[in-house]
Amino acid sequence: MNETPLIPAGVKRCSKWQFSLWMGAVTAVLIWGIYAMFLIWYKGLNQTNMNDAYGFALWIWADLAVIALGGGAFFSGFLTYIIGKDDLKNIINFAVIIGFICYSSALLILAIDIGQPLRGWFIFWHANVHSMLTEVAFCLSCYFAVLTIEFIPLILENPRLAKKPFLHHLSHNMHGVMAVFAATGVFLSFFHQGSLGGVAGVLYGRPFAYREHVFIWPWTFFLFTWSAAACGPCFTILVTWMTEKITRKKLVKQEVIWLFAKISGWMIITYITAKTIDTLYWALVTAPSKGFTLMDFYSSPTYNIGLLFIEIVLCGFVPGLILITRRGRENSFFLMSAVILAVIGVSLNRWVMVLQVMAVPLFSFNDWYTYMPSWQEVATTVLPVAYGLIVISLAYRYLPVFPQEQELNPID
Amino acid sequence: MFPFCFEWAWDMSHMVFMGGLWYALSIIGAGLTFAIVKSIMDMKSHDEKDHGHH
């Protein structure tokens, strides 16, 4: 059996044994995660270290973080198909794959977290229409369907599949209506990213999270959507860079990366300015109105004021300023530093809005609540990383993911 | 999810939530159906052209 027809024409891939070795190593990690997942499904949520204080824990942070990092897919779709930034067509395939991995991981983590996945459909059938999380579940599922639809044409471009006339036409026609799916994806993402932020912002009884609002939407609703659109592209750039390092090839022209980084930079700067105003208003007006001072929320050795500085200045203004300046983004070291800081920044924001909210004492006689995840929680959180590596490896090997790869790496 | 589910009520919350869900699902379904139907038609017209050449 000759494998060559499965690999796209005009590109070079590693040998079968090298690929198998890599896949074997990643699959071992995947199996570890699957074992932990089955332990949780079989024995129950007592396998975790969640407690009365921490109903939301490592999984929900991972969920929110991957959803924010997967925001590169909807934002690049918006820029390409709706704004008309055609240059981004050279990276959008990869952004869609990353989005697909992030959202399928988020759904997988939720399936573990609900304890009884066989009852997962209850959220649709017996929907609680007063819960922001119901809206998140709706939008998340629908957007995952959109990402799958966006991924399918790329899969159909595999040389062996493209030979089938129906699949060839289907791929072409799906490309033709992709703008509709992209617009739907933007609509869905706006609401589920926002509602994830809204969940924290409406917690009237937890002044650390509570924010002022417009109608029913607290400011965190808008900040979450904004931060996902701002930092999602940075994650796409980061994973592209890692793929280039591993494959030892240039896969996307630097001009495309710079354009994506510049847009991301402006989004980060505007987001972090809004976040700063929101934080100042909360610290000076909202929290005092509930009887708290800013430092009441940062009195723990773990959750100290340094976290706020790291999130807003080090992982907010610094990467934003680097990316909006030509010299900053065109210097490889600064570009990648900014991208990594932005990814850490948005992940830290989700950590603070999930876990610090849970850690703040609810009663005057309580100390800060503590939590350390069990190995089962860690393994099931690492599981999506291994799964993501497998999907990216298979996609890169068998699909024409990067339209500029042939031009940048001509085969003699 | 459907008006025949026992907890359904014709109130604003149900209409907004479920209306939004079905609106999104309809667009996704319509887009997908269009692509599939057009592909079948394209394939048939392509076949007919091929037969015409022979």
pLDDT computed for residue B54 by the predictor: 54
End-to-end distance of chain B based on CA atoms, in angstroms?
54
Mean pLDDT of A40-55: 93
Is residue A214 within a helix (H) or strand (E), and if so which, with residue range? strand A213-214
Q: What is the CATH number of the domain that holds A339?
A: 1.20.1630.10
Scanning every residue of chain A, which has its alpha carbon at the shortest distance from the alpha carbon of B4? A125
pLDDT at A1: 45
pLDDT digits (tens, 9 = 90+) for A198-217: 999 999 899 999 999 998 89
Return the closest-CA partner of residue A324 out of A247, A394, A264, A364.
Answer: A264
Residue A12 lies inside a defined structural domain of this protein: no
Query: What are the two backbone dihedrals, phi and then psi, of residue A347, each rounded to the nearest 5 degrees?
Result: -65, -40
Quote the CA–CA distance of A381 and A61 in Å, as a whole number. 10
Q: pLDDT digit string (tens) for A276-309? A: 999 999 999 999 999 999 999 999 999 999 999 9
Domain assignment present for residue A13? The answer is no
**Of B17, B36, B46, which has the smallest distance from its Cβ to A135's Cβ?**
B17
* Average model confidence (pLDDT) across chain A: 94
**Average confidence (pLDDT) over A228-251:** 97
**Which domain range does residue A213 map to?**
19-405
Of B13, B31, B38, the CB nearest to A180: B31
Domain assignment present for residue A10? The answer is no
Give percent above pLDDT 90 in chain A: 88
Overall domain count for chain A: 1
Give the ipTM. Answer: 0.88
The answer to whether residue A2 is domain-embedded is no
pLDDT tens for residues A177-198?
999 999 999 999 999 999 999 9
Residue A412 lies in a domain: no
DSSP-derived secondary structure for A272-318:
HHHHHHHHHHIIIIIHHHTT--GGGGGBSSSSBHHHHHIIIIIIIIH
Q: Does A148 touch chain B (CB under 8 A)?
A: no
pTM attached to this predicted model: 0.94
Among A131, A152, A169, A186, the strongest candidate for a mutation testing the B interface, having the largest count of B CBs within 10 A, is A169
Interface check for B12 against chain A (CB to CB < 8 A): the answer is no
Joined together, the tokens standing for residue A288 give 């005092």
**Is there a domain that residue A3 lies in?**
no
Say whether residue B38 is in contact with chain A using an 8 A CB cutoff.
yes
- The answer as to whether A57 is a domain residue is yes
Q: By the CB < 8 Å criterion, does B15 face chain A?
A: no
End-to-end CA distance of chain A: 25
- In this prediction, residue B52 carries a pLDDT of 65
Does residue A7 lie in a domain region? Answer: no
Chain B residues whose CB is inside 8 A of the A169 CB are: 38-39, 42-43, 46
Torsion sign (Cα): A71, A73, A74, A78: positive
